[in-house]
Amino acid sequence: MIFILKDGSSFSSLKEKIGLSSSSYRLVDIYGKRVVVAWPDENLKGIKDEAVEVKVIPHAKYQLSSKAFKEKTIVKVDQVDIGGEGIVVAAGPCSVEGEDQAIEIAKAVKRSGASLFRGGVFKPRTSPYSFQGMGYEGLKILRKVKEETGLSVVSELMDVREISSFDKHIDMLQVGARNSQNYPLLKELGKIKKPVLLKRGFGNTVEEWILSSEYILLEGNGDVVLCERGIRTFERSTRFTLDVGGIVVAKTLTHLPLCADPSHPAGKKDYVESLALASIAAGADMLLIEVHNNPEKALSDADQQLTIMEFEKLMKKLKSLAIALGRRL
């Protein structure tokens, strides 16, 4: 149950009543409001206080991310709005491999209409012998990309020890599938005022995915975008199975914007276009697409990265689809 404190009201009276009900609670400042999240609901029935507005979140294990709490959230990454009428595309290489490469790709995707630049610098690879990314040197390159092109940047971090460095250089922090349930990391990201792109774990249900976002929101950071990136199923014709239905369901359950990453579930660039279009048709507010200036020589995920020309072609189709859906790119 959520209690929204009215402006200038004291929490003391409500705190005493919650204590008498043997319930737990958290006081959170989020979305310009001071709210009290208390649980379990059955202990709180009948609690009334003139200082608060009560919101009951029906049948929801998650509270702050539920649409019953808030109808719609728009996440701002600098001047880019995610979750509004416009569809946002973040594009760039799977891995940053050098300054010239990153800037060349960034300029190209910007010309085609991308609003954000994506690039990995700490790479969580299945094998420890695969390219692990450029690390902190890559962060400096991403900052250079922004200075040269004006594009805000999104990149994945894997460890709480990286947060301060990412906070200085990166505009949107990505939590990858492998860290989707790394709760200590999610809690720390909730304590900083920086947008978070939260990928769905490849073994997570939609409910578990949304619950992961709740860890961030409960610490006071409401700027979270949920990203569907494919789940692991028995199907092997694609790298993962893009859960288009999961996007539809999440849109009905949460006020948070939805992103889709068609590159990872595709595994092959030939499938990326169709998966991207399907995701937008399902209601995604943002796409995360891998683009490389020379995919054949890419140091990671070479098969699924689009060439610059292929990305230009995709963006033209996305613009047409957006118009048909009453949106814009």
182 Cα distance to chain centroid: 15
The pTM of the full predicted model, rounded to 2 decimals, is 0.95
Beta bridge partners of 2: 37, 55
Rounded to the nearest integer, the mean pLDDT of the chain is 94
Q: Is the peptide bond before 40 cis (omega within 30 degrees of 0)?
A: yes
- Higher-confidence residue of 240 and 132: namely 240
Name residue 55's beta-bridge partners. Answer: 2
Domains parsed from the chain with CATH numbers: 2-55 (no CATH), 75-324 (3.20.20.70)
* Residue 124, pLDDT score: 83
- Could you report the per-residue pLDDT of 92-121, keeping only the tens digit for each? 999 999 999 999 999 999 999 999 999 999
How confident is the model at residue 324, as a pLDDT? 97
| pLDDT for res 151 | 98
**Per-residue pLDDT tens digits for 141-163:** 999 999 999 999 999 999 999 99
**Quick check: 60 pLDDT over 80?**
no
pLDDT tens-digit series, residues 250-286: 999 999 999 999 999 999 999 999 999 999 999 999 9
Percent of the residues in the chain that have a pLDDT greater than 90, as a whole number? 82
Q: Is 246 exposed, middle or buried (0-12, 13-18, 19+ CB in 10 A)?
A: buried
Asked if residue 58 has pLDDT above 80, the reply is: no
Which pLDDT score is estimated for 295? 94
Q: How many CB atoms lie within 10 A of CB 329?
A: 19
Phi/psi of residue 174, nearest 5 degrees? -100, 130
Instruction: State both tokens at 227.
Output: 């990203």
Span 129-138, mean pLDDT? 88
Give pLDDT, residue 41: 83
Indicate the pLDDT class of residue 48, thresholds 50, 70 and 90: confident
Q: Helix-strand-coil percent breakdown of the chain, rounded to 5?
A: 35, 20, 40
pLDDT per position as a tens digit, 208-251: 999 999 999 999 999 999 999 999 999 999 999 999 999 999 99
- DSSP calls for 202-235: TT--HHHHHHHHHHHHTTT---EEEEE--B--S-
